[in-house]
């Protein structure tokens, strides 16, 4: 970057030289990747230690977070080389280093998005056994795979040869239109976000559940709507860049909205997997939720005792809720992940282990119900 003296003699004011959006990018990126990392650790602990059933969706979301961490490092490198400053105040060396970091950050951003989508689709596939929804999941996975290949390959080969992306002195180089590639990727990204967000809703509507519980489940899966919102906000920042000649100044909002988008996706994908963690370490939260709506003190005591019984005993009364209701044989299959509900009998003696076992036999036809893994 030009020093203040050189820049001022070139006609720039001191305020113009010092103006920067870089801190917004660096602080926001660090904060969100750290928060997403905490949720990821809780997810891996829940799936690996509590539920003991780590699946491909967990490893995929871990890979997405690694890409997000790489994106954050690239953003910090961009800020160190002038991102967020006015382009007129930057040296040629700063611009070269900044554009090189930008090149890799775009690839990591696209990789994180695609891996996040694949993780969510794997999660859907594990939860919903219906033939139609699984076919829809496969189709959506194929669309996501094609989109992922294009978005990553398109950005890798943006310029030929590749170094000409950041080194404009290379002769006989050719680059695709940034605007065309960026907006096509952003549009497909938003469309696939909305499709993945809506995909499980028909299956959830068919579940044999009380209305409030069904709405609660739909809200859990609707967390992807936050990702759609951040994608749209990033698209607005992208539009501002295409209308500006001060690219390094306008690129700041794109950088931090990109980080917010991928990390919010990781957080939203991880939240539904933490039910077992909450049941083990924060049962009072679920207890309070189950007693909402004016429950009596006796009911509260019963619910608390039932929760204690769940955490201490290996068997819990559970029923699979498939598209057609209860599937007895499937509920006893430990290799399948099922959407389940807990059936409780609201009596004072419910905390007694013999009473609980008696309830289980009545519900499952004389056989002990399988505890199985958590909902997701």
Assess whether the previous peptide bond of 96 is cis (omega < 30° from 0): no
**Distance from C-alpha of 177 to C-alpha of 191, rounded to nearest angstrom:** 22
What is the reported pLDDT for 341? 40
Regions of the chain with pLDDT less than 50: 1-9, 289-374
What is the reported pLDDT for 74? 96
What is the reported pLDDT for 288? 53
Give exposure, 251-278, as e/b (b: 16+ Cβ within 10 Å).
Answer: bbbbbbbbbbbbbbbbbbbbebbbbbbb
What is the reported pLDDT for 79? 94
What is the reported pLDDT for 8? 40
Which CATH number, 3.40.470.10, 1.20.120.550, 1.20.1070.10, 1.10.10.10, labels domain 4-273?
Answer: 1.20.1070.10
DSSP 8-state class, residue 47: I
What is the reported pLDDT for 10? 59
Whole-prediction pTM: 0.73
What is the reported pLDDT for 208? 77
Residues 6 or more apart whose CB falls under 8 angstroms from that of 313 comprise 353, 356
Dig out the tokens for 58 from the structure: 């967990």
Can you give the residue ranges of every domain in the chain? Answer: 4-273, 282-364
What is the reported pLDDT for 162? 92
Helix (H, G, I), strand (E, B) or coil at 334: coil
């Amino acid at each position: 970057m030009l020093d203040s003296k050189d820049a001022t003699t070139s006609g720039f004011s001191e305020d113009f030289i010092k103006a920067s959006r870089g801190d917004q990018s660096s602080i926001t990126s660090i904060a969100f990747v750290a928060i997403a990392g905490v949720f990821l650790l809780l997810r891996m602990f829940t799936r690996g230690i509590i539920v003991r059933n780590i699946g491909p969706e967990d490893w995929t979301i871990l890979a997405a977070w690694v890409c997000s961490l790489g994106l954050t490092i690239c953003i910090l490198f961009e800020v160190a080389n002038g991102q967020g400053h006015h382009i007129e105040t930057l040296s040629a060396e700063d611009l070269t280093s900044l554009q090189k970091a930008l090149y890799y950050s775009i690839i990591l951003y696209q990789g994180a998005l695609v891996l996040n989508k694949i993780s969510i689709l794997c999660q859907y596939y594990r939860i919903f056994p219906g033939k139609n929804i699984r076919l829809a999941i496969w189709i959506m996975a194929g669309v996501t795979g094609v989109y992922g290949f294009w978005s990553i390959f398109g950005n890798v080969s943006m310029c030929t040869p590749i170094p000409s992306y950041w080194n404009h002195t290379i002769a006989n180089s050719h680059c695709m239109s940034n605007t065309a590639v960026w907006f096509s990727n952003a549009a497909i990204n938003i469309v696939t976000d909305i499709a993945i967000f809506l995909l499980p809703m028909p299956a959830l509507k068919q579940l044999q559940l009380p209305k409030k519980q069904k709405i609660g489940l739909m809200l859990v899966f609707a967390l992807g709507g936050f990702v759609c919102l951040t994608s749209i906000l990033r698209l607005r920042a992208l539009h501002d860049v295409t209308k500006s000649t001060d690219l390094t100044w306008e690129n700041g909002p794109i950088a931090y909205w990109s980080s917010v988008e991928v990390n919010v996706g990781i957080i939203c994908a991880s939240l539904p997997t933490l039910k077992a963690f909450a049941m083990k370490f924060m049962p009072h939260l679920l207890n309070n939720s189950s007693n909402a709506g004016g429950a009596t003190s006796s009911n509260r005591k019963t619910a608390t005792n039932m929760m204690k019984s769940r955490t201490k005993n290996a068997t819990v009364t559970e029923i699979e809720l498939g598209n057609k209701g209860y599937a007895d044989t499937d509920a006893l299959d430990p290799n399948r992940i099922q959407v389940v509900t807990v059936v409780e009998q609201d009596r004072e003696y419910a905390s007694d282990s013999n009473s609980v076992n008696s309830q289980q036999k009545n519900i499952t036809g004389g056989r002990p119900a399988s505890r199985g893994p958590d909902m997701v």
